[in-house]
Chain A
Amino acid sequence: MDTLAFLLFCLAAFYVVAWVLLNERLGEHGRGRGPIAIRREEPAAARRARGAPGG
């Protein structure tokens, strides 16, 4: 279990490094693409429509 967690975090670090490199090579210098990229912001109108704070 301990080894599995260790490996998972090492691989996650590897993934983050490779992810930046790949996104930069693809010319993506903004939020990036993929699961660890920054979440797309919900437009203010949509937020207001569902009554969320900050809309």
Chain B
Amino acid sequence: MRAYLFVLIYAGMLPLALLSPFAGAMIWAWLSLMYPQSQTYGYFSFGFAAPVAALTLAAFLLSRERALPPSTAVAWSMAGMILACGVAHATAIDREIGAVRWDTIWKGLLLALATLAMLRTQLRIHALVWIVALSIGYFGLKGGLFTLLTGGRYRVVGADGSIIGDNNHLAVALAMVLPLVAYLAMHAGSRVLRAACWVAAPLVAVGALFTYSRGGALALGAMAALAWLRTRHRLAMLAPIALLALGAFAFAPEALLERLGSIDDYGSDPSAMGRLAIWRVALELALRNPLTGVGFQATALPHVVAQVDPTVTPRAVHNSYLEAFAEAGGLALACHLVMILAAALDLRRTRRATAGVAGWRWAHDLSGMMQASLLAYCVGSFFISFAFYDGWWYLAALATALRVHACTALAPRGRVAAAGVATAAAAAAARGR
């Protein structure tokens, strides 16, 4: 029943991709972030994303929308990442094990770039925030309710077969999406939807916490601290946050508290020590192959790990920065770091340019909340393999699109110069004066 209803909705959406390539890009984002096809209990083995990608790219190339993405550091680092990953896969020690990963990476990056090229209006930026929040927040909301109904005895997990299927990955993804839910709670047009988002936000937080992921808990803590600093109602927010934290500690099962308490005592935890061992192996492999890396998921191969230390158990790298470096080489790591830095700078510039500007409060709040999302990603991805997560690419695309949109619109008002941002529009305005 669920499978057929999903197919019905999917079939209803497909023609929209033909009408507008941006609609196709949003459908792709929904399919790749929520992975709804996996929730149909494997009823269909059909690749639902491929037709959407083909239709979107065809519609994009044939329509008047056809344009290159803005020439920003985020866009260039995405393009550089495709190149670096392509070379890494072509020269991989074992191409078979990384074939699926490479397939999702190039498609994800290409669609993220196409989306960035079309993210030119306030309407589209806001709509993409909705899609990202709905697609990932679904697991948090469901997980939060499940936790409350079962007393938190079970782990919350994500979509089976997707990158957020694992509890650790889901926790970081939820910590990243929580500030977007908070933004929607502040700026959705309908009062009912705003209230729904305020109800959903703590449930998503509960869902993230009850993944029992320690890295996720650290990401959640860092995100919450920055999001609180970025809110306009700091004092008013203190009481509900304190209540939520006290409630969580009062009712949290012993197992969760023990799990979180073990962060301090990593020396006696085999899982943490296993991560440190694989980090050392990954770093050594990266230094031996600094240009191309060893290929995707190669650290899961015993003969690759044995080149460095045969006593270490082969497994995923469990650190995004080392993952990019070891699996795809120095260029991939550079692109990853530039993308993070550029997204952070874009958000800071947007926040400064829109501070106190009438009609731009939404962009001011969105950039502040996205800073918290970015921090959650940077902290959380230190403990998991998350360098090639498309949710992160959408966040980076949104950050740069928001900056370009705000600075282009505000340049004539002189706001952009004050924020230290140079855009083509600002230069044109200056020449006009």
Contact = CB atoms under 8 A, between A and B. Distances in A.
Contacts of A29: 121-123
A5 B138 contact: yes
B388 interface: no
Main secondary structure of the interface of B (DSSP, over half): helix
Q: How large is the interface on B (under 10, 10 to 19, 20 to 34, 35 or more residues)?
A: 35 or more
Interface stretch (B125-133, B205-213, B422-430): B125-133
Interface string B178-209: 00000000111110111000000000000000
B188 to A, nearest CB: 6
Nearest to B5: A7
Interface stretch (B17-25, B219-227, B249-257): B17-25
Interface stretch (B286-294, B318-326, B356-364): B356-364
B123 A32 contact: yes
Interface in A20-50: 20-21, 23-24, 28-41, 43-44
Contacts of B356: 54
A20 B23 contact: yes
B115 interface: no
Given A10-B6, A14-B12, A35 B232 contact: no
Contacts of B359: 41
A29 B260 CA distance: 47
A8 B194 CA distance: 17
Contact of A5 (B121, B127, B142, B233): B142
Nearest to B1: A3
A54 B16 contact: no
B36 A10 contact: yes
Contact of A20 (B12, B124, B142, B186): B124
Q: How large is the interface on A (under 10, 10 to 19, 20 to 34, 35 or more residues)?
A: 35 or more
B143 to A, nearest CB: 11
A20 B188 contact: no
A9 B36 CA distance: 10
Given A39-B188, A39-B189, A16 B138 contact: no
A41 B361 contact: yes
Interface stretch (B26-34, B150-158, B337-345, B367-375): B26-34
A5 B30 CA distance: 15
A44 B13 contact: no
A40 B189 contact: yes
A23 B12 contact: no
A26 B123 CA distance: 13
Nearest to B9: A10
B433 interface: no
A39 B187 contact: yes
Contacts of B358: 41, 43-44
B322 to A, nearest CB: 34
A2 B122 CA distance: 33
Interface of B: 1-2, 5-6, 9, 12-13, 16, 19-20, 22-23, 26-27, 30, 34, 36, 39, 121-124, 126-127, 130-131, 134-135, 138, 141-142, 186-190, 192-194, 232-233, 356, 358-359, 361-362
7 contacts: A6-B36, A10-B9, A12-B134, A20-B22, A32-B189, A37-B189, A39-B189
